[in-house]
A and B are shown apart, each in its own frame.
Chain A
Amino acid sequence: MGTRTWSPRRRTGAGGAGRRRIDLLSRAALACLVALAAVAALGQAAGLGGDPAEIVGGRLLPPGPEWWLGTDSLGRSMVPRVIEGVGTTLLLSSSAVLVTAALSTLLGIVAGYRGGAVNEAVLRLVDVLYAFPSIVLAVLVAAVIGPGRTAALASIVLVTVPLMTRVVRAAAASVARRDYVTAAVISGARTPRILLRHILVNVSGTVAVQGTYALSVGILVEGGLSFLGLGVQPPESSLGVLIQQGGVYMVAAPWLLLGPGVVLVAAMLSINVFGDGLRDRLEPRESRSLT
């Protein structure tokens, strides 16, 4: 036995020397994500593949030496459109996730630490949000504030907040019961101090892990919403917009789905693999894998 059932991992913990590095696969996933973001950002800035709005040639041309991913129904080159789409989607979902992380962390640690009525209120709120299927929630939002980027952002936040708040709250509640928190209370420490110095730092790993998962949920929500025409509006592109447009010509020009599809799958895979690696690194106890 030895290796599998007991690893020296637990001698090295947070903060000290001998940190365990996350494994190779997760690092590869992270590299893939960074590469996607870099291509999107730099590609747009450098005008890689030309102007996404410019009509360059025939409609629905298959991929070839000139237009690597073909052209769309208006005769625009797909390469710059995919680059723009990835950029929009990543930017939108990561901004939304930042908002979610801030909200969920605040709600989660206050509810987890204070317990009582505050906790009840937060749990109810989360349950109510959670009860709506995400796409219904997104449609409602779009109906209220009108389709567009803001609607997409707000929808992602509303869908991911309950997921993340639950987990962070549970983690905070367990940290709150530890003796060092009690000792700080006995010493007369005030709530903000306890939340920041004792609770927050000890749930930050959980927040990071949940953040990566929220990012993948965000990308899916953006896709779904734009697919329904309620998110990012053409002529701007996003992965959702491109997939929606590709879907229309799926039979005549299946290659329209190639670029956005591959990128979407790559993004989702690498985010989830990276999230798992991060979880193994930051929360080794909960995650002992079975293999």
Chain B
Amino acid sequence: MTELLNVRDLVVEYTAGGGRVRAVDGADLAVAAGATVGIVGESGSGKSTLGLAVGGLLPRGAVPAGAEVTVDGLAVPLLAPAELRRLRRERLGFVFQDPVGSLDPTMRIGRQLRLVVPDAGGPAALRRHLERVRLPDPERVLRSYPHELSGGMAQRVAIAMAMAAEPRLLVADEPTAALDRQVRDQVMDMVFAIAAETGTGLLLLSHDLPEVVRRCARVAVMYGGRVVEEGPSAEVMADPAHPYTAALARSAPGTAPPGARIEPVRGRPPVLDGAAPGCSFAPRCAFSVVRCTEERPRPVRVRGRDVLCHRAEELVGAAPPVRLAPPAPRDGAAARPADAGTVGSGPALELDRVEVVFGAGPLSRRPDTRALRGVSLAVAGGEMVGLVGESGSGKTTLGAVALGLLRPAAGAVRFDGAPFPKRRRSLAGRMQAVLQHPQWSLNPRMRVGTSIAEPLAVLGRADRDGRAVRGMLDRVGLESGLADRYPHELSGGQRQRVSIARALITAPRFIVFDEAVSALDVSVQAQILNLIKDLQGELGFGALFISHDLGAVRYVADRIAVMRAGEIVETADTEVFWTAPEHEYSKQLMEAM
């Protein structure tokens, strides 16, 4: 049978930092005409790479010329550049995560759309394309520049462009991950509706198993560059055959009972050097046997699905695998950071009636902004205080005061019992921060290892043999080989782990996490939250965990402070807050959850 898309035993390698990363390691996949197939996997599993390979969009040399990737019977790796462009123009559509980045910022939408709409058509035709993606006021949108649109609108435009030529297959890579939660569903609904209308096949790449299962007829689960299980969505979800699928099903945030610890898939994602002879999931698998580490599993047919696991047949009918092995003990490097400071329980940080005013500038008519209005807050050593509030309420300002980046107009700040020193540099290494944007948290021109070691270098303590860096990488669940990579080769979650490693390397007494997980996928968020929680338990630093997301805050914090318009309106132990919030605003926040 010739499928619309056929991928057989595909291997894709990137060259990175002198080594090779095998992002896709023998993956098989088929999509029938008009079918909806989802690929699910954690970030780094190779989904995006597979999607790019379908369109011949990978850097030259990454895909071997003989690789079997066919679209509509055409062998993608063998196409000449012009033919490839034609294939993409006529039969393939792509939608990526970042809608604004995928539009040309210098061109009005109308003009961009006209470039991709076949046989031009007048303004009416353009309008129809926008109406199809349910964009209100298409006239105005056609005249707009991308930056004038909201994320949801921009993504609708990108989808309209991808669908303009009525492609045979639409590849959508996390198309809604960058959008607000409310908009996500609408956009997803719309994509699936259009695909059904036009008979376009849909390949949805996502980290969100429940979402994919709900939307797609079939699901392919990817792990370590391979498709480990593929089958009809409902069956896979109800009765996962591969141990990884089972673990993934359980890690889905929607499935955990409220208040319970979400169970992320334990252990570290695999090293993708293509060298491991066995099953790439073996180090994390609770069912692993000797054979698993020695011999690469071949597809076995179980319950009508192809499953990549030696024990798949044996495990049939056994109680669904619910137990996962704890992460393997890590050799030697039990990495105590340089000199773990004594964990005191006195306040690590105290703010006493702190005022911060931002001048509006001499020429402005606007009044000055009172960003903090007499805020008092104490964080004990070893305590994690969560700070919630809507954006603009002053959370980041408070964090900046705590870190000494901003001097308050009035009030006092005490660090470790002593008044805040005039020169904040004398506190170097004793307080650190993990900040919001994974894409800007690391210097793109510095190797990851150098970034992690920088706080030590600043203190004049070079990490010559790299041991401290390796220890920290291990601690945050990353391979030590990552030290030689550059940030752009890492996923968002990996980068945020690196930021945490950089913050921890000086064994600080106090850390500010400012929206540290807000920009990450939901499943990665869970992993990072658990990591932060575990590390804090182990190392005993005091922390201020700032977020607009009450769910994340209550998950890690011992105590919650609620901020609104520059004031802390309520502080309570997390338990207490959870059951009986006092302030009106806190109640509203709880209800909005």
Residues of A with Cβ closer than 8 Å to B?
1-8, 10-18, 178-180, 182-190, 193, 197-198, 201-202, 288, 290
Does A14 lie within 8 Å of B440, measured CB to CB? Answer: no
Instruction: Report A117 CB to chain B, min CB distance, Å.
Output: 14
CA distance A162 to B256 in the complex (A): 60
CB within 8 A of B458: which of A6, A15, A182, A187?
Answer: A187
| Interface presence of B436 (CB below 8 A) | yes
CA distance A12 to B403 in the complex (A): 34
CB within 8 A of B158: which of A5, A15, A202?
Answer: A5
Residues of B within 8 A of A11 (CB): 59, 488
Q: Which 10 residue pairs spanning A and B have beta carbons closest together?
A: A188-B428, A2-B88, A187-B455, A13-B488, A179-B435, A178-B440, A17-B15, A16-B486, A201-B445, A179-B441
Q: Which residue of A lies closest to B485 (CB)?
A: A16
Does A202 lie within 8 Å of B403, measured CB to CB? Answer: no
Instruction: Report B81 CB to chain A, min CB distance, Å.
Output: 9
Residues of B within 8 A of A7 (CB): 57
Does A2 lie within 8 Å of B486, measured CB to CB? Answer: no
CB within 8 A of A182: which of B96, B102, B435, B445?
Answer: B435
| Interface presence of B454 (CB below 8 A) | yes
Does B102 lie within 8 Å of A6, measured CB to CB? Answer: yes
Q: Interface on chain A toward B: helix, strand, loop, or mixed SS?
A: loop
Q: Which residue of A lies closest to B164 (CB)?
A: A1
Assess A1 versus B93: contact at CB under 8 Å? Given A12-B59, A14-B444, A180-B443. Answer: yes
CB within 8 A of A189: which of B15, B57, B115, B458?
Answer: B458
Does B93 lie within 8 Å of A2, measured CB to CB? Answer: yes
CB within 8 A of B55: which of A2, A187, A201, A202?
Answer: A2
CA distance A189 to B457 in the complex (A): 9
| Interface presence of B570 (CB below 8 A) | no
| Interface presence of B499 (CB below 8 A) | yes
Q: Which residue of B lies closest to A198 (CB)?
A: B443
Assess A16 versus B58: contact at CB under 8 Å? Given A1-B162, A188-B425, A188-B429. Answer: no
Assess A1 versus B16: contact at CB under 8 Å? Given A14-B486, A188-B424. Answer: no
CA distance A147 to B444 in the complex (A): 46
Q: Which residue of B lies closest to A287 (CB)?
A: B106
Residues of B with Cβ closer than 8 Å to A?
14-18, 52, 55, 57-59, 85, 88-89, 92-94, 96, 101-107, 112, 115-116, 158, 161-162, 164, 403, 405, 424-425, 427-429, 431-433, 435-437, 440-446, 451, 454-455, 458-459, 485-486, 488-489, 499, 502-503, 506
Instruction: Report A123 CB to chain B, min CB distance, Å.
Output: 15
Residues of A within 8 A of B436 (CB): 179
Assess A201 versus B443: contact at CB under 8 Å? Given A190-B425, A193-B458. Answer: yes
Instruction: Report A184 CB to chain B, min CB distance, Å.
Output: 6
Residues of A within 8 A of B106 (CB): 288, 290
Instruction: Report A17 CB to chain B, min CB distance, Å.
Output: 4
29 interchain pairs, CB-CB under 8 A? A1-B88, A2-B55, A2-B93, A3-B88, A5-B112, A6-B102, A8-B52, A8-B59, A13-B444, A13-B488, A14-B445, A15-B444, A17-B18, A179-B435, A179-B437, A179-B441, A180-B441, A180-B443, A186-B403, A187-B458, A187-B506, A188-B429, A188-B455, A189-B458, A190-B425, A202-B444, A202-B445, A288-B105, A290-B107
Does B489 lie within 8 Å of A16, measured CB to CB? Answer: yes
Does A6 lie within 8 Å of B502, measured CB to CB? Answer: no
Residues of B within 8 A of A15 (CB): 444-445, 486, 488
Q: Which residue of A lies closest to B430 (CB)?
A: A188
Does B432 lie within 8 Å of A186, measured CB to CB? Answer: yes
Does B16 lie within 8 Å of A16, measured CB to CB? Answer: yes
CA distance A14 to B444 in the complex (A): 7
